[in-house]
Chain A
Amino acid sequence: MSRTPVDRTAVLTIVGRDLRAVRRSKAITVPMVLVPASLLVLLPIAVGLLARNAPYDTVQRALESSVLDRLADPILSLPPRERLVVLVLGYLLSPLLLVLPLMVAAVLAADAFAGEKERRTLEVVLHLPVTDRDLFLAKVLSAYVPAVVITWVGSLVYALVANAIAWPVTGRLFLPFTQFVAMVVWIAPAVALLALGLLVIVSSRARTTQEANQLGGAVILPLIFVAAAQASALMLLPVLGVVAVGLVVWVAALGLLWWNARHFTRDRLASAG
């Protein structure tokens, strides 16, 4: 790895150029708008409306059963008529936010190197006076920044939609609560970085975006399943528990990225295709 200082101008220039190009690519921007819109606007509206109008005694019986034990305490402590809508919008659907950083990171990471190869622009980048480390950093940031920004903006939109839907029942803003904030601010960025740690290398070795997407899908889909399956439980953990889970993801992500950065060379990139 290079010991020279990071050339911030070069890194930011590559990031700026990539983001500008991505913004103009419908093949990339359309899924990045449609998926969050479906997950964070349409789904909570539909499910929230159903939950808002459902009889709440059924929910109460389910929550009071031993299955959820004391994990359900935050829900049970709410007035009965709020329980279902808060459970659904605050604890069951909101963790889907973690799919966003995974998806955005996957799409942009595939474009980072494989897309450049496909467009035959990579050779030009390789002949620029940028160190391997700075090139790697720029490509990671080009995918990481949008992944985090879209997740954060999406979370804000989701919170607004969920509160608006629940308002007739709750009469208050129930989102964000502490675990939600911890998930959005602490865990989601770590998840994005973990995905990139896996996908940037896949992208650098693939020859086309399609190949990168296929290989990346094999890598990222299990993560999406894990995120979707486990995130609801995450929301019921105490805040320290959420922070600890996030810490594990951060350590894994940074470790993976460090390892990849050490093994990333333009020679490998040029030789791969």
Chain B
Amino acid sequence: MAAAIETEGLTRGFASGLAVDGLTFRLDPGQVLALLGPNGAGKTTTVRLLDGVLTPHAGRSLVLGFDPTVDGEEVRRRTGVLTENAGLDDRLTAAENLTYVARIRGFGPAAARRRVESLLERFGMADRRDSLTAGFSTGQRKRVALARALIHDPELLFLDEPTSGLDPAGTRDVIALIDELASGGRTVVLATHFLGEAGRLADRMAVLHHGRLRAFGAPDQLASEMWSGLGAELDLGGRVDADTVGALAAVPGVSSALAHGDGVRLVLDDRDVLPRAVAAAVARGVPVYGAATHRPTLEDVYFAIEQRIAAEEGGLATDAFASPDPVGP
């Protein structure tokens, strides 16, 4: 299967230094990639390189089979981009902001009008179609910008912070929309700081740091490379004595047990061990109110990678860095 995106040693610098340094990865069609990293990590530069807005200083990439350096127009014809800032011209109405893009993307005047109407309807902005966007809220601007990114039904979407500035209902709607787009077979590159949304949507995650790709893969795969075992929690309804903890630790397949809050945290070889641990607790007369395995989330993986990077670079992890423990804080 041809890759949706394939890069090899993609490198781009500015006067201030390298913004993207030797980026190599492959994304298959229909996958959702979460492009993660702190501010200045190179996420926006990566999107610009992949969409042919910037030219790499070294390396190459193929996007939907085209080299953005040579066939930038072909790439941009097939991609849709939501920039972090909505990028609406406040001197134009919502419909005008969409219509000019539709016309440039090959819609005739009547088709453009129909498409704009339908998208404004879909995004709940039909009643504001003739209003100047200057008066729009952040959420309304984001919705119009999303409509603009989707106007030509692109094969590949670059979404830069699609939910920033949205209220909870707006965030939920946008996540559902991205989910729907991905389910429909579109490839999505999601550059975001919101790890929760990335975790819900992403098949793949890429962590950029100072322009270098520090991790790439499926979140589960990265987690299994970082931690052996599977986290689990038992809710035992109150503080647990040392004997119970010891008994649980002795269950075959339990590699560690730790009293925590009203229960115990375990690290299991695999999820089949969990019923045996529950049975061991019950056998000791300890009531079990709940039992669940805890797969490391994308957020756990991301912060663990950031922490590892900070350790490698001799710096300190920030307070925001969570424990690399797969069971979580």
Chain A interfacial positions (CB closer than 8 Å to B): 4, 9-10, 13-14, 16-17, 20-22, 24-25, 119-124, 126-131, 265-267, 270-271
Contact = CB atoms under 8 A, between A and B. Distances in A.
B289 interface: no
Contacts of A128: 76, 101, 104-105
A121 B88 contact: yes
B76 A127 contact: yes
B50 to A, nearest CB: 11
Contact of A124 (B55, B73, B83): B83
A120 B100 contact: no
B73 A129 contact: yes
B148 interface: yes
B148 A124 contact: yes
B77 interface: yes
A267 B54 contact: yes
B91 A124 contact: no
Interface in B61-94: 72-74, 76-77, 79, 81, 83, 85, 87-92
Contact of B73 (A22, A25, A131): A131
B103 interface: yes
Contact of A126 (B53, B90, B103): B53
Contacts of A124: 81, 83, 87, 101, 148
A123 B85 contact: yes
Interface in B118-157: 132, 148
A123 B92 contact: no
A130 B104 contact: yes
Given A9-B103, A9-B104, A13-B103, A127 B89 contact: no
Contacts of A9: 103-104, 106
27 contacts: A4-B73, A9-B104, A10-B104, A17-B100, A20-B91, A24-B91, A119-B89, A119-B90, A121-B89, A123-B87, A124-B81, A124-B148, A126-B53, A127-B51, A127-B81, A127-B83, A128-B101, A129-B76, A129-B77, A129-B104, A130-B73, A131-B73, A265-B55, A266-B53, A266-B72, A267-B54, A270-B48
Given A13-B103, A119-B90, A20 B85 contact: no
Interface of B: 14, 48, 51, 53-55, 72-74, 76-77, 79, 81, 83, 85, 87-92, 96, 100-101, 103-106, 132, 148
A126 B87 CA distance: 11
Nearest to B48: A270
A25 B85 CA distance: 21
B153 to A, nearest CB: 14
Contacts of A24: 91-92, 132
A265 B132 CA distance: 31
A13 B54 contact: no
A122 B89 CA distance: 10
Contacts of B105: 128-129
Given A24-B91, A131-B73, A267 B53 contact: yes
A96 to B, nearest CB: 30
A244 B132 CA distance: 48
Nearest to A124: B87
Shortest 4 CB-CB distances between A and B: which pairs? Answer: A124-B87, A21-B91, A129-B77, A129-B76
